[in-house]
Structure 1
Amino acid sequence: MSSNSCQNCHTLKAACDEAFQTYPKSCSHAVWHVIRKYVYNQPYLTANNLLQVVGRSPKWQEVQIHELAQLANDGVLVVGGAADSPHGHVIVVYPGQPKSDGGYTYINREGENKIMPSHGIYPLAMSTSMGSWPGAKSKGNLTVRDSWSRDKFQGVKFFKYVGTPYGAAAGVGH
């Protein structure tokens, strides 16, 4: 990892940490907060609308899950999400070593405490939520897989920002 990508990684991590603290109950606000570190004039969009915009924009490029950890560790902004009715969910891929998903406690439909099993090794996530699902709240301690059920995770798409970072055109960094 070059010193520039290391600095970019720290910038991404700091933006994610700040967003997690500032918007603990709104995934779209938290992701918007991080995006604004790269795209200063990014308007706020709800999760479903944000996914539509990034899916069509030439400044965003869809990436595969096996690319996520390296991109985040290089400081590249990657947003993931799945549209749903009435509200979708969005996350930012968080820098760090991938790990097993699951391992956290949840309450099943019968009111019993259960431990979420692991489905594999995944990159880390910054994720907030107004909901009560414990997997949807992560400051880099849970993975990109933990926010969604198995069925919904199949519909998650990831997009990296390929536009000019805020301030880069003027030579001031981001």
Structure 2
Amino acid sequence: MPLTNPWLAGPTPTRKLDRERLEERIHNLLSSQNMCVLATAGPDGPLATPVRYYPLDFTLMFTAAPRSPKMRNIAADPRVSVGVFAPLVGLASSRGAQVFGAARVLSPDHPEHAHHWSAFRWQNEHAERGRPLSEPPEETLVLVEAQRIVYTEHWLRRDGYAPRQHWRR
């Protein structure tokens, strides 16, 4: 039987990418997607929530309603995991990242809020809601600064690299 991607057959390579190339691939993934699944832990167990995010280096940012279950969980235990993935067509296209870190909540008056807010594309949501772009919102930001990332890309096998790579801050 002919194989579309013969490099997927055979043993899985174990070679690691150098840090610079790995970071470039992670940045490409994080900046080319805008949805993730945020996993928190709460009194009723794990909670996985789809969230629209914006990246700033290795930090993922999103807004959330203060009384939402995810915000209650973050207040009780800020340790989170975030799954980011590209659309899957087949094994060769498998590409994603598991981001691990602690969520930080920045109120609009927090000294770091303005720095992060400048990278947050709030205009998209304002346009969707019919709000004027001349009035930027003052919303709480949630930041997840990656402490470690497990990056998966099966296309790496083609060049002799392991499809799962590990990054640590």
Please confirm whether the aligned pair reaches a TM-score higher than 0.5, indicating the same fold: no
Q: What TM-score results when the alignment is normalised by the length of structure 1? A: 0.31
Greater C-alpha radius of gyration: 2
Q: What TM-score results when the alignment is normalised by the length of structure 2? A: 0.32
The structure with the largest strand share of the pair is: 2
